[in-house]
């Protein structure tokens, strides 16, 4: 059905800023300093030049770039003297393993080349998923700046044997004196490690194990323990849900580790049914952006709305407050009751009473979506025990502390207090992969291997086991934590032998160890009990009273959250993640205070856009409980009025490269581990902050038909191509005084594309959550360089694949305001209405590999051309950097190499050191200065698939072709394949009634196909 929606990317675009209009006309906002290379214009005009010089000059004056492109560096390779038996040069090996760093947990496959891990992908056989952080973890392996390289004592090198002897002696002394020893770890979710820790505690009865997670979900674990008698997190079978109501739980982000795969599996419009998802929140989150309906509320109102929903569902009156969304809550209660056991409520408020209310609502619904049997073993931290530890250290009750891969000196709200209390502890030992503030405060620093160098196991959820195996020899003098604990417990058994024995006796039930190791996982059948049978009786009246008392509504409230890119900050020294644009704000290299347009106007904050596309911001001093931080402000559409948001995980400085020391540490505001803080005071302070943000640098230039969105009801009842009401109408043009489909008119003759392979990439906008795992996967597979904050700021980001985020609002609001003669503040307030709660749509955008490509016709040196298999190809050694192709590309997907990003101290990232270069894919060239680069549709991967099939004497299997982005996509939104093979999934998708091409009226005939986004407005 024809839509009157207006799509926009930024507040400035919504306001119709002239700066944005100017940027829309300029792909490149800065000129190359030509005179520095060629001399001034007068000199050139009076000289006789060759054809090559002419091209340098008139081709947007990229002389220096073209010279660099013609003369690349010479790098000599050294062959094997004795080739390892298990390595075939040029052939990738894949290993199944698992990642568990305390915050991110995933079953993965690891690609290695010549013994070097270079990429991580989800182990889909194990139902594994990956996020941007999991994808980027392979680069953290090679972090030569931050990783611990050898054991030290007070900063001086010490041998492992001497460290064992000294530490073992002190542990025995404490045991005899019955002096407390604390083992402080993050959540490990490892059954074999749990057993080793148990043996360590049995050896030292004076020792205690305390689990600390920087991002606390202790309230959910405590509530689950209260109800079910065991400390865990509930799981959710969202694939079976009819109605999902979330109160601030970003379950497509980091809430309980994320549920995006199950969520999307329950939202397949071709089945005729989709779950109905309502998100109630103050910050714009990934879950809110993907919701069918999003209700904006202050954090305190989110809590009261939860209580009011309980009243509506159960009819039991509990103490609460009225909220502005109570009328919507009544509608939600009806929808949940209608869904019955297929309805579910989730709560992201880190308050045990809020979590208990949520469990009680699910009990009232008899929800089978909340899964108490297959419970989650992640996020097991106990915030109260950590605070007790700090008190005990201050009072001198702790004789020794052993930390394992945690950094409370950075991430505790009272981090300074913890670090000071360490001075009262006699034995301080840090076992850690990386150096950090806590390690620096310890006496002993013992290096542990990265998970890609390690053996281990996992049990992320009940009965679902994973194995961890090394994919590379240890880079440094590390020793596994488990080996260390075994040795200190008096055992001579190696961890590998312990692990194999443990699995044989406690896990495998007679199954093959080798098969489990090959697959990377093992699933055990668990007993299933109805959720209601396990629930204990809890006085909800008392719970509600406590919740209302702790919810101190105030004029301004803060919601602390984690970004999709950086999480809790463990990988803050990872340049891929720092440059990863936030899915919502499109900003990188920063955290900031998100604020509504109304509050920004009242408090005097703004985000002016400069004429080069850069965004600036004002600073605010945020004060809570006597603690203050100064942070830049980002005006965020969809932020609840009276609330602000701030992400954790930034502001790390110790051990990080200077370029990575960005953002503000928000953990000091994280009092009690609560993600909601009340009585917030915000004061504008002097200074201007420079953001690196891409949200206005690639504008849609008024072409609002890039996106196509339909409701589930329209999808089920309206013909998609109906000329008047269709929701997927083809483009029409006027020809010979008649309106005809644009595809019938063409400037080019058609080529025969039915011979051989012809590749298409299908992208389902309904299934794309905007998570960005594909963006980092593309970086890893294609050696995409990191350019740094300053270059991103001026529009020179090098992402081959970007995920455009569009807001949408009805045109009438703005147009009617103008027709009514509103201007100034009145018009601004009318615009606020549009920005108060816009719909959000994500669209992955890369080179469209057009069969009639505009870029190919304008390249003066034929550097870009079309291949028989459908890819638009780049010959880098032909490119002289004219940039004609970029200016002629309607999709704005080409990137220009302004500099050499490798072996350049100005870009001191992974390509500027020998360890970081180990992650580079040898199948893809590292591009030099002065050439254009873009998505290649991973041509090296498709060619490898063809060669493998040829070597094995067979045809390519159905759906065997893949790209990095399609492999990394957890939800299956991206499907790559050969449309000439009618059995490939992409062939059917190309003919699907939801299929369309972006800007199809231009008749570029892309090989990238989009599927119309379908929302369930609950009208079907």
CA 235 to CA 230: how far, in whole Å?
A: 14
18 sits in which H/E element: helix 18-24
Q: Is the pLDDT of residue 40 over 60?
A: no
Q: Which of 28-42, 549-563, 696-710 has the highest mean pLDDT?
A: 549-563
Sheet (strand 593-595) strand order: 587-588, 681-693, 615-624, 627-635, 593-595, 643-648, 557-562, 676-677
As a whole-number percent, the residues of the chain with pLDDT over 90 amount to 67
Q: 685 by DSSP, 3-state: which?
A: strand
> Which of 792 and 60 is assigned the larger pLDDT?
792
Q: Which helix (H) or strand (E) holds 139?
A: helix 132-140
In the predicted model, what is the mean pLDDT of residues 836-849?
91
Q: What pLDDT does residue 985 have?
A: 94
For residue 353 the two structure tokens come to 């009473």
pLDDT of residue 821: 60
User: How does pLDDT run across 415-440, given as a tens digit for each residue?
Assistant: 999 999 999 999 999 999 999 999 99
Among 702-716, 918-932, 937-951, where is mean pLDDT lowest? 702-716
Mean pLDDT for all residues in the chain:
87
Is residue 448 very low, low, confident or very high in pLDDT (cuts 50, 70, 90)? Answer: very high
Measured CA to CA, the distance from residue 93 to residue 125 in angstroms comes to 17
Closest to 190 in 3D by CA, of 177, 172, 209, 171 = 209
Could you read off the pLDDT of 95-149 as tens digits, one per residue? 999 999 999 999 999 999 988 999 999 999 999 999 999 999 999 999 989 999 9
Enumerate the H helices of 458-537 as residue ranges: 481-488, 495-506, 513-519, 531-534
Query: Residue 465 half-sphere exposure, CB side, CA atoms within 13 Å?
Result: 24
Give tens-digit pLDDT for 350-373.
999 999 999 999 999 999 999 988
Angstrom distance (rounded) from CA 102 to CA 137: 13
How much is the pLDDT for 224? 93
Q: Average pLDDT in the 949-961 region?
A: 92
Element (H, E) at 740: strand 738-741
Q: List, as one string, the DSSP characters of 893-928.
A: --EE--S--SS-GGG-SGGGSTTGGGGS-TTSPPPP
Least confident of 3-17, 335-349, 354-368, 487-501: 3-17
- Determine the Cα–Cα distance for residues 767 and 75; give it in Å rounded to an integer: 43
**Average pLDDT, integer, range 459-483:** 93
Cβ(1007)–Cβ(761) below 8 Å: yes
737, pLDDT greater than 90? no
- Any idea which of 38-52, 241-255, 704-718 has the lowest mean pLDDT? 38-52
Q: What share of the chain in percent tops pLDDT 70?
A: 86
**Sheet containing 521-523, strands listed edge to edge, beginning at the edge strand earlier in sequence:** 233-236, 370-376, 456-461, 464-468, 521-523
- Phi/psi zone of residue 223: left (φ > 0), alpha (ψ -120 to 50 degrees), beta? alpha
């Amino acid at each position: 059905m024809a839509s009157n929606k207006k799509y926009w990317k930024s507040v400035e675009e919504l306001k119709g800023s002239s700066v944005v209009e100017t940027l829309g006309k300029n792909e490149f906002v800065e000129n190359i300093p030509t005179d520095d290379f060629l001399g001034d214009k007068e000199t050139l005009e009076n000289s006789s030049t060759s054809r090559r010089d002419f091209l340098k000059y008139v081709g947007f004056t990229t002389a220096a770039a073209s010279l660099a492109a013609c003369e690349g560096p010479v790098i000599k390779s050294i062959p094997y003297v004795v080739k390892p038996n298990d390595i075939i040069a040029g052939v990738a090996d894949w290993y199944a393993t698992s990642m568990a760093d305390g915050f991110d947990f995933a079953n993965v496959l690891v690609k290695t080349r010549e013994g070097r891990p270079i990429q991580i992908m989800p182990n889909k056989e194990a139902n594994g998923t990956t996020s941007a952080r999991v994808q980027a973890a392979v680069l953290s392996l090679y972090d030569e700046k931050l990783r611990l390289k050898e054991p030290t004592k007070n900063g001086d090198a010490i041998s492992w044997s001497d460290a064992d002897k000294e530490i073992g002696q002190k542990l025995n002394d404490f045991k005899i004196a019955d002096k407390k020893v604390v083992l402080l770890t993050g959540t490990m979710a490892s059954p074999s490690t749990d057993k080793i820790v148990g043996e360590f505690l049995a050896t030292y009865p004076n020792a205690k194990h305390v689990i600390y997670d920087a991002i606390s979900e202790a309230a959910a674990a405590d509530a689950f323990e209260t109800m079910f008698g065991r400390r865990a997190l509930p799981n959710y079978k969202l694939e079976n849900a009819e109605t999902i109501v979330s109160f601030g739980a970003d379950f497509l982000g980091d809430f309980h580790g994320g549920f995006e795969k199950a969520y999307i599996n329950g939202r397949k419009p071709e089945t005729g049914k989709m779950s109905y998802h309502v998100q109630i929140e103050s910050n714009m989150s990934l879950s809110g952006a993907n919701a069918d309906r999003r209700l904006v509320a202050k954090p305190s109102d989110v809590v009261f709305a939860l209580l009011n929903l309980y009243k509506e569902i159960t009819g039991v009156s509990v103490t609460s407050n009225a909220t502005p969304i109570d009328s919507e809550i009544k509608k939600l209660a009806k929808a949940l009751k209608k869904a019955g056991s297929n309805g579910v409520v989730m709560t992201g408020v880190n308050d045990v009473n809020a979590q208990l209310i949520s469990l009680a609502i699910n009990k009232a619904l008899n929800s089978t979506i909340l899964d108490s049997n297959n419970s989650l073993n992640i996020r097991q931290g106990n915030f109260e025990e950590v605070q007790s530890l700090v008190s005990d250290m201050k009072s001198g009750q702790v004789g020794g502390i052993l930390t394992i891969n945690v950094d409370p000196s950075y991430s505790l709200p009272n981090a300074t207090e913890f670090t000071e209390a360490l001075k009262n502890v006699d034995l301080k030992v840090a076992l850690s992969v990386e150096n950090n503030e806590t390690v620096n405060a310890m006496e002993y620093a013992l290096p542990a291997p990265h998970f890609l160098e390690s053996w281990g196991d996992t049990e992320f959820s009940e009965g679902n086991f994973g194995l961890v195996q090394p994919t590379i020899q240890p880079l440094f003098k590390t020793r596994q934590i488990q080996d260390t604990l075994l040795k200190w417990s008096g055992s001579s058994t190696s961890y590998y032998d312990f692990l194999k024995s443990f699995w044989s006796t406690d896990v495998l039930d007679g199954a093959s160890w080798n098969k489990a190791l090959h697959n990377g996982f093992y699933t055990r059948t668990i007993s299933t009990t109805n959720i209601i049978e396990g629930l204990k009786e809890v006085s909800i009246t008392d719970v509600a009273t406590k919740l209302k008392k702790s919810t101190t509504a105030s004029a301004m409230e803060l919601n602390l959250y984690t970004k999709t890119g950086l999480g809790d900050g463990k990988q803050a020294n990872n340049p891929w993640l720092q440059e990863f644009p936030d899915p919502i704000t499109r900003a990188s290299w920063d955290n900031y205070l998100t604020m509504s347009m109304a509050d920004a106007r009242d408090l005097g904050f703004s985000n002016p856009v400069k004429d080069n596309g850069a965004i600036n911001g004002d600073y605010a001093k945020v004060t809570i409980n006597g603690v203050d931080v100064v942070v830049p402000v980002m005006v965020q559409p969809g932020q609840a009025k009276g609330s602000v948001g701030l992400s954790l995980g930034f502001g790390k400085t110790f051990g990080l490269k200077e370029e990575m020391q960005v953002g503000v540490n928000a953990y000091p505001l994280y009092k009690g581990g609560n993600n909601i803080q009340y009585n917030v005071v915000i004061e504008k302070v002097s200074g201007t902050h420079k953001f690196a943000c891409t949200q206005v640098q690639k504008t849609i230039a008024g072409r609002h038909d890039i996106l196509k969105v339909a409701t589930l009801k329209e999808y089920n009842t309206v013909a998609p191509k109906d000329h008047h009401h269709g929701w997927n109408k083809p483009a029409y043009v006027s020809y010979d005084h008649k309106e005809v489909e644009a595809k019938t008119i063409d400037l080019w003759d058609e080529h025969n594309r039915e011979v051989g392979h012809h590749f298409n990439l299908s992208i389902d906008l309904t299934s794309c959550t905007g998570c960005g795992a594909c963006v980092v996967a593309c970086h890893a597979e294609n050696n995409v360089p990191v350019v740094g904050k300053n270059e991103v700021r001026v529009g020179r980001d090098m992402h081959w694949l970007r995920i455009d985020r569009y807001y949408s609002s009805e045109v009438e609001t703005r147009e009617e305001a103008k027709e009514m003669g509103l201007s100034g503040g009145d018009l601004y307030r009318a615009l606020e209405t549009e920005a108060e709660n816009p719909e959000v749509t994500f669209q992955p955008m890369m080179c469209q590999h057009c069969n009639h490509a505009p870029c190919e016709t304008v390249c003066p040196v034929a550097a870009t051309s079309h291949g028989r298999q459908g890819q638009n190809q780049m010959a880098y050694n032909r490119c002289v950097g004219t940039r004609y192709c970029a200016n002629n590309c309607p999709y704005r997907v080409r990137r220009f190499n302004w500099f050499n990003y490798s072996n350049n101290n100005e870009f001191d990232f992974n390509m500027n050191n020998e360890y970081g270069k180990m992650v580079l894919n040898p199948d893809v060239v590292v591009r030099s200065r002065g050439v254009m680069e873009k998505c290649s549709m991973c041509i090296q991967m498709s060619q490898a698939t063809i060669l493998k099939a040829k070597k094995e004497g067979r045809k390519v299997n159905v759906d065997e072709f893949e790209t990095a982005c399609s492999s990394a996509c957890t939800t299956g939104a991206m499907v790559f394949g050969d449309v000439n093979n009618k059995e490939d999934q992409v062939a059917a998708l190309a003919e699907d009634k939801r299929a369309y091409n972006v800007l199809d009226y231009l008749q570029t005939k892309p090989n990238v196909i989009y599927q119309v986004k379908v929302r369930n407005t609950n009208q079907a």
